[in-house]
């Protein structure tokens, strides 16, 4: 399990970090770089920018 903070400062516990990462890479990146889109997960919102993407890669 991993914990992430959404854009509103709420803590979200990711149950399956592998699947979460795969989704972000497949749907929220272009040429291996974050595209700045918003990912919604169970009512939590994450902006997929460089900071978020780098943090996610290190989990």
Tell me how many helices (H) and strands (E) the chain has: 2, 6
Residues 6+ positions from 4 with CB-CB distance below 8 Å: 11, 12, 14, 44, 46, 55, 56
Determine what percent of the chain is predicted with pLDDT higher than 90.
Answer: 95
For residue 16, what pLDDT is reported? 96
Residue 1's pLDDT band (boundaries 50, 70, 90)? confident
Total of domains in the chain:
1
Query: What pTM did the predictor assign?
Result: 0.91
Domain that holds residue 23: 2-57
């Amino acid at each position: 399990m991993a914990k992430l903070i959404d854009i509103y400062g709420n803590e979200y516990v990711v149950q399956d970090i592998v699947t979460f990462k795969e989704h972000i890479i497949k749907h929220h990146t272009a040429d291996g770089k974050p595209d700045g889109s918003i990912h919604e997960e169970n009512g939590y919102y994450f902006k997929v920018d460089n900071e978020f993407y780098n943090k996610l890669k290190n989990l």
